[in-house]
């Protein structure tokens, strides 16, 4: 197995482009692209301006390495983190070109941290600088890869195994937390109690959902929030002070991070946007209202989200994934990218059918930019077989 290419020799976008264009396996897969005027050029290119480009009736794939350099921060145990360079590529496929083959070739070249996301034709055209028609392609993708040597640093006040001191609700620290049982699918019972909750079906149809190329990708079942569920479930079982605001969660906002007044938006509803059902592409999820609210947080914050739920497997040997469906946004609310932040899957082997299991996984995210602070986010599950699931509560912790 090749050593991952995280060194400085291939850390900049232009270096990545130069390195990948020498990989024969990738070149064979990409082939060549023919312009509408008959000119032929290599299918891998570096941040060009591509006016009036169309795809001819040939096999092949268009791959463009963007010249903008990003970054990725990976938090490790003990509060340290590694900073990596992040390089973005844009891919349009037609004919027999497949994104899986391309990412496999990129990983084979040594960039083992490589992910792709489905985008539309207009986003692709804008990203590669073209003004012409890309209608000849069958699918469009944004591909990111880790390309720089990790630079280790210490994150201030970041202790992954300790709930931080709180800002508004206590003395000394700036971090904080809030807790709720406001899932739309859970309309009875107290959030502080380990009740069974309301069962929701994850169906075989969801498990078998396919992308546009016929690959089984599965569909995320999202768990939305509602004001009605918040009012029904966030009934505190402990004495409260006059500063307790019951509309914010179980702790009434008394344990919020400094300068943060809300960590949930129970009333959010964007029927033509984030709240909508998505039935196509590699990233599919169910409709759901509400969202986590990080808009008063700041770049550099670290969030941990614990999700408490009961699950009943319906089939032996079932794998269940838990994630946050994360949609980054510009300051005006324009979505940029939507992707899942996932944790370690749970496997239910033999002798599990019909049994109830309590799960309490914790997911995390680092606010690397204002787009993360403006993000919309909801918890979700995905499985390879039918399950029944009952969402209970969620705890959101902001660490600084």
Least confident of 73-87, 242-256, 318-332, 339-353: 73-87
| Position 164 in a domain | no
Of the three residues 96, 123, 154, the one that is the final residue of a domain is 154
Nearest to 6 by CA among 68, 83, 75: 83
Q: Are residues 353 and 392 in the same domain?
A: yes
Q: Are residues 88 and 212 in the same domain?
A: no
Q: How many domains does the chain have?
A: 2
Confidence band (pLDDT; 50, 70, 90) for 192? very low
Nearest to 381 by CA among 398, 364, 359, 355: 359
Q: Are residues 143 and 187 in the same domain?
A: no
Q: Are residues 206 and 258 in the same domain?
A: yes
- The reported pTM is 0.60
Phi and psi for 310 in degrees, rounded to 5? -100, 145
For 343-358, write each residue's pLDDT tens digit.
889 999 999 999 999 9
| Position 3 in a domain | no
Q: Are residues 108 and 181 in the same domain?
A: no
Q: Are residues 146 and 220 in the same domain?
A: no
33 Cβ contact list (under 8 Å, min separation 6): 40, 41, 42, 43, 53, 55, 56, 58, 60, 62
Q: Are residues 219 and 365 in the same domain?
A: yes
Q: Are residues 63 and 118 in the same domain?
A: yes
| Position 159 in a domain | no
Q: Are residues 195 and 48 in the same domain?
A: no
| Position 281 in a domain | yes
72/82 Cα distance (integer angstroms) = 8
Q: Are residues 27 and 58 in the same domain?
A: yes
| Position 1 in a domain | no
269 Cβ contact list (under 8 Å, min separation 6): 275, 289, 290
Per-residue exposure over 7-29, b if at least 16 CB sit within 10 Å of its own CB, e if not: eeebbbbebbbebbbebeebbeb
| Position 218 in a domain | yes
* Residue position matching structure tokens 């060009």: 48
Domain range for 67 is 8-154
Q: Are residues 191 and 251 in the same domain?
A: yes
* Residue position matching structure tokens 């992707």: 339
151/84 Cα distance (integer angstroms) = 7
Report yes or no: 158 and 302 within 8 Å, Cβ to Cβ.
yes
Considering Cα of 26, then 282, then 45, then 15, what sign does the dihedral take? Answer: negative
208/190 Cα distance (integer angstroms) = 35
Q: Are residues 61 and 196 in the same domain?
A: no
For 109-160, write each residue's pLDDT tens digit.
888 788 888 888 778 877 776 655 666 678 888 898 887 766 655 544 444 4
């Amino acid at each position: 197995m090749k050593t991952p290419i995280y060194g400085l020799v291939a850390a900049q976008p232009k270096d990545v482009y130069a390195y990948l264009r020498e990989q024969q396996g990738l070149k064979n897969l990409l082939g060549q692209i023919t312009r509408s005027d008959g000119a032929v050029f290599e299918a891998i290119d570096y941040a060009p301006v591509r006016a009036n480009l169309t795809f001819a009736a040939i096999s092949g794939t268009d791959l463009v390495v963007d010249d903008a350099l990003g970054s990725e921060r990976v938090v490790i145990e003990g509060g340290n983190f590694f900073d990596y360079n992040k390089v973005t590529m844009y891919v349009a496929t037609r004919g027999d070109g497949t994104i899986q083959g391309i990412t496999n070739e990129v990983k084979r070249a040594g960039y083992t941290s490589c992910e792709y996301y489905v985008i539309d034709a207009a986003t692709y055209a804008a990203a590669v600088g073209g003004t012409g028609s890309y209608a000849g392609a069958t699918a469009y993708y944004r591909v990111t890869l880790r390309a720089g040597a990790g630079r280790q640093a210490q994150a201030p006040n970041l202790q992954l195994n300790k709930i931080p001191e709180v800002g508004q609700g206590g003395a000394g620290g700036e971090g904080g937390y809030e807790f709720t049982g406001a899932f739309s699918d859970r309309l009875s019972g107290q959030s502080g109690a380990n009740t069974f909750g309301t069962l929701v079906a994850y169906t075989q149809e969801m498990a078998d959902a396919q992308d546009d190329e016929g690959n089984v990708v599965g569909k995320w079942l999202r768990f939305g929030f509602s004001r009605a569920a918040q009012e029904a479930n966030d009934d505190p079982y402990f004495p409260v002070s006059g500063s307790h605001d019951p509309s914010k969660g179980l702790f009434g906002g008394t344990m919020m991070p400094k300068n943060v007044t809300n960590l949930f938006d129970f009333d959010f509803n964007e029927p033509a946007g984030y709240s909508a059902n998505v039935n196509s592409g590699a990233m599919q999820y169910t409709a759901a209202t509400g969202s986590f609210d990080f808009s008063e947080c700041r770049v550099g914050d670290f969030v941990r989200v614990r999700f408490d739920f009961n699950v009943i497997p319906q089939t032996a040997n079932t794998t269940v994934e838990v994630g946050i469906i994360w949609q980054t946004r510009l300051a005006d609310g324009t979505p940029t990218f939507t992707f899942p932040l996932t944790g370690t899957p749970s496997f239910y082997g033999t002798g599990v059918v019909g049994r109830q299991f309590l799960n309490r996984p914790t997911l995390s995210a680092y606010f690397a930019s204002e787009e993360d602070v403006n993000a919309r986010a909801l918890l979700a599950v995905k499985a390879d077989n039918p399950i029944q699931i009952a969402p209970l509560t969620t705890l959101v912790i902001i660490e600084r």
